[in-house]
């Protein structure tokens, strides 16, 4: 989240302080508005669009007061946030929340989930025109700075109709078109709120995919079922999918038995498969190393984040994991873009191996043992192809009938992929 937030010192500067807003000024522990704008502009100039993580369900938690990351005063117990400004009347009052202590404690009741306080965080009343306007002004300011879209944090804890009203107040991008919106809704078939309530508003996080891909990597035989509509998973046109996120990689936010960068080989296979397959809109995670679940990013003496340094081999230094630079992850983005809009064909899934083609545009294979040596039908035009994951160190020849000799060996990654129109 790029906006001003509380500064927590107990524990010392946890990552989650950024999820307790103080104002909508773009001044976070990540830097000032000028620094944020500079980053967004430099990204945009090289074709990388930025969306922001927007925390608008709530402001800071009860018991917190003082100065925010941008120096603005606030007092949560008095519901006083002069930097916006928000006052007591802009928050959900106790009569709208059916829980005995004001905190969310019953996921079976939408009024409880949406009108009560999430872990003590002061809950805004987005049904009010004033509150909607302040949030939309924040979004519009982000768009002025060059941002292209928004993650809506805690969307599950807001009424879809209120979110729609806020989105409708948000302007088009300067280059035309609507901003990108996706909604964070943790639906694991365990409560009253369903992802389907949010699909009319944009993409919706599909947390069940995290479980499904973890099962699929542990047992390749399960990979055919990573998208399981019978289990309530939303359709490909609305599902926002990822192998892990900033919460569940550290046991927060619906945690579980997931695959993360802590198991690099499994993680590479999980993300490579996700990018190769034809389900949903994909997000690639990029992390820092951590020991404890509260620990913030690698920091300098003043707790500002350390720079991401790049080592000679292309990996990152200073405590940053940079999963997005790992070949079976970063190089598979070209694959996903090249095969967009095609289906899955020539599916083969035996002996802890999986392979398939995407239309007549790409072919993907993965072997859990790290070893595979067989001739497969690729469905691709004849020719010599450069293998993407090895940076073209491997070449693959497709013959006139569309077959190719596919070799995966333990000296390299357990994944191969190639595309029509790829590098040569």
Q: Does 157 participate in binding Ca ion (rule CB under 5 A)?
A: yes
Half-sphere exposure of 68 (CA within 13 A, CB side): 33
Q: Does 340 participate in binding ligand LM2 (rule CB under 6 A)?
A: no
For residue 192, give every residue at least 6 positions away whose Cβ sits within 8 Å of its Cβ, in sequence order, or none: 107, 108, 109, 110, 113
Cα–Cα distance for residue pair 69/3, rounded to 1 Å: 9
Cα–Cα distance for residue pair 130/88, rounded to 1 Å: 13
Name the minimum Å distance from CB 362 to ligand LM2. Answer: 33
For residue 313, give every residue at least 6 positions away whose Cβ sits within 8 Å of its Cβ, in sequence order, or none: none
Quick one: CA dihedral 164, 168, 170, 175, positive or negative?
A: positive
Interface of this chain with ligand LM2, residues 166 to 185, rule: CB under 6 A: 184
Q: Which of 2, 3, 4, 19 binds ligand LM2 (CB under 6 A)?
A: 19
E strand or H helix that includes residue 344: strand 344-350
* Cβ closest to ligand LM2, residue 61 vs residue 68: 61
Helix (H, G, I), strand (E, B) or coil at 382: coil
Choose the contact partner of 123 out of Ca ion, ligand LM2, none; CB within 5 to 8 A by kind: Ca ion
Q: Which of 123, 125, 187, 387 binds Ca ion (CB under 5 A)?
A: 123
Q: Which of 153, 244, 266, 353 is catalytic?
A: 153
Helices (H) and strands (E) in the chain, counts: 8, 18
Residues making up the chain, counted from first to last: 424
Would you tell me the crossing angle of helices 129-145 and 33-45 to the nearest 10 degrees? 60
Q: Does 117 participate in binding ligand LM2 (rule CB under 6 A)?
A: no
Residue 387 among the catalytic residues: no
Name the minimum Å distance from CB 151 to Ca ion. Answer: 16
DSSP string of 194-210, one letter each residue: -GGGTGGGSEEE-THHH
Q: Which of 44, 169, 252, 299 binds ligand LM2 (CB under 6 A)?
A: 252
Q: Which of 120, 160, 254, 297 binds ligand LM2 (CB under 6 A)?
A: 120
Are 61 and 27 in contact, with CB atoms under 8 Å apart?
no
Gyration radius of the chain's alpha carbons: 23
Cα–Cα distance for residue pair 313/405, rounded to 1 Å: 30
Cα–Cα distance for residue pair 198/181, rounded to 1 Å: 11
Q: Which of 61, 68, 160, 422 binds ligand LM2 (CB under 6 A)?
A: 61
Name the minimum Å distance from CB 19 to ligand LM2. Answer: 3
* Cβ closest to ligand LM2, residue 61 vs residue 146: 61
Cα–Cα distance for residue pair 84/69, rounded to 1 Å: 14
E strand or H helix that includes residue 334: helix 332-339
Interface of this chain with ligand LM2, residues 140 to 159, rule: CB under 6 A: 153-154
Are 340 and 65 in contact, with CB atoms under 8 Å apart?
no
Choose the contact partner of 151 out of ligand LM2, Ca ion, none; CB within 5 to 8 A by kind: none
* Cβ closest to Ca ion, residue 126 vs residue 170: 126
* Cβ closest to Ca ion, residue 106 vs residue 346: 106
Site size for ligand LM2 (CB under 6 A) = 16
Q: Does 247 participate in binding ligand LM2 (rule CB under 6 A)?
A: yes
* Cβ closest to ligand LM2, residue 118 vs residue 415: 118
- Could you tell me the two tokens for 119? 């872990």
Q: Does 197 participate in binding ligand LM2 (rule CB under 6 A)?
A: no
* Cβ closest to ligand LM2, residue 252 vs residue 324: 252
Q: Which of 2, 3, 4, 16 binds ligand LM2 (CB under 6 A)?
A: 16
Name the minimum Å distance from CB 154 to ligand LM2. Answer: 4
* Cβ closest to ligand LM2, residue 134 vs residue 183: 183
Residue 184 among the catalytic residues: yes
Cα–Cα distance for residue pair 64/336, rounded to 1 Å: 45
Cα–Cα distance for residue pair 85/336, rounded to 1 Å: 44
Part in contact with Ca ion (CB under 5 A); list of ranges 5-13, 114-122, 166-174, 320-328 = 114-122
- Could you tell me the two tokens for 115? 């009108």
Site for ligand LM2, rule CB under 6 A: 16-17, 19-20, 55, 61, 118-121, 153-154, 184, 247, 252-253
List the catalytic residues. 153, 184
Site for Ca ion, rule CB under 5 A: 57, 114, 123, 157
């Amino acid at each position: 989240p790029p906006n001003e937030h509380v500064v927590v010192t107990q524990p010392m500067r946890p990552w989650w302080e950024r999820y307790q807003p103080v104002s909508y000024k773009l001044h976070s522990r990540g830097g000032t508005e000028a620094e944020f704008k500079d980053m967004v502009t430099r990204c945009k100039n090289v074709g990388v669009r930025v969306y922001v993580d927007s925390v608008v369900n709530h402001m800071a938690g009860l018991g917190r007061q003082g100065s925010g990351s941008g120096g603005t005063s606030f007092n949560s117990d008095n519901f006083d946030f002069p930097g916006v400004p928000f006052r007591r009347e802009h928050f959900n009052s106790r009569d709208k929340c059916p829980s005995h202590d004001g905190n969310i404690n019953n996921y079976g009741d939408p009024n409880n989930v949406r009108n009560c306080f999430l872990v003590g965080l002061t809950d805004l009343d987005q049904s009010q025109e004033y509150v909607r306007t302040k949030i939309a002004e924040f979004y519009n300011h982000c768009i002025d700075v060059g941002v292209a879209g928004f993650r809506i944090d805690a969307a599950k804890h807001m009424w879809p109709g209120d979110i729609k009203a806020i989105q409708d107040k948000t302007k088009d991008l300067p280059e035309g078109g609507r901003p990108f919106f996706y909604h964070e809704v943790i639906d694991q078939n365990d409560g009253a709120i369903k992802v389907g309530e949010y699909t009319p508003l944009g993409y919706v996080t599909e947390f069940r995919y995290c479980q499904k891909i973890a099962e699929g990597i542990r047992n390749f035989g399960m990979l055919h079922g990573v998208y399981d509509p019978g289990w309530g998973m939303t359709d490909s046109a609305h599902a926002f999918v990822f192998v892990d996120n900033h919460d569940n990689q550290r046991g927060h936010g619906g945690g579980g038995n997931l695959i993360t960068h802590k198991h690099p080989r499994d993680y590479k296979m999980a993300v490579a498969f996700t990018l190769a397959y034809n389900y949903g809109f994909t997000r690639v995670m990029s992390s820092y190393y951590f020991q404890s679940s509260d620990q913030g990013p690698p920091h300098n003496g003043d707790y500002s984040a350390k720079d991401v340094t790049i080592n000679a081999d292309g990996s990152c230094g200073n405590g940053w994991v940079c999963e997005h630079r790992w070949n079976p992850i970063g190089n598979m983005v070209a694959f996903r873009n090249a095969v967009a809009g095609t289906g899955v064909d020539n599916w083969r899934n035996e002996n802890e191996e999986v392979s398939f083609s995407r239309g007549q545009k790409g072919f993907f294979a993965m072997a859990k043992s790290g070893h595979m040596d067989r001739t497969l039908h690729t469905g691709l035009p004849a020719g010599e192809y450069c293998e993407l994951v090895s940076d073209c160190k491997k070449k693959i020849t497709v013959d006139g009938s569309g077959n190719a000799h596919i070799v995966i060996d333990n000296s390299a990654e357990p994944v191969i992929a190639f595309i029509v129109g790829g590098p040569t």
